[in-house]
Amino acid sequence: MNEKVFVDEYKRRFSIFHSSQDDDIGEQLDSGFADIKSIIGNFDPNSYEKGKELVYERTRYLRNEALEYFYSNFQTMIMDASIDLVGDSVAD
């Protein structure tokens, strides 16, 4: 997710107005995407909003040095996303 469109969307969402940390944000989004995919399964962030939101929130927690709280705070959403994606793969 280290693409300008995702970096810009993340920055808008969290009111970041400078570009000095764009590279860091992109790398953090990439690592967050890999982590969330390993938990809930493969998804396309362009079409699966819940997965993209989890990546953005995980990145926010990482940037605020509070990553250890992310998993417990978003446990329900993570479980819901896992079920969504498993249901999609069963329907195929």
| pLDDT tens track for 33-83 | 999 999 999 999 999 999 999 999 999 999 999 999 999 999 999 999 999
**pLDDT digit string, tens, across residues 7-30:** 999 999 999 999 999 999 999 999
Give the torsion sign (CA, 80, 38, 85, 67). Answer: positive
Q: Please, what is the angle between helix 49-63 and helix 4-13, to 10°?
A: 70
Residue 87 pLDDT: 74
Please determine, for residue 90, whether its predicted confidence score (pLDDT) is greater than 50.
no
Count of domains forming the chain:
1
Residues near 45 by Cβ (< 8 Å), separated by ≥ 6? 1, 6, 33, 51, 52, 55
Are the CB atoms for 57 and 49 separated by under 8 Å? Answer: no
Residue 58 pLDDT: 98
Please determine, for residue 91, whether its predicted confidence score (pLDDT) is greater than 90.
no
Domain that holds residue 82: 4-91
Q: What is the pTM of this model?
A: 0.92
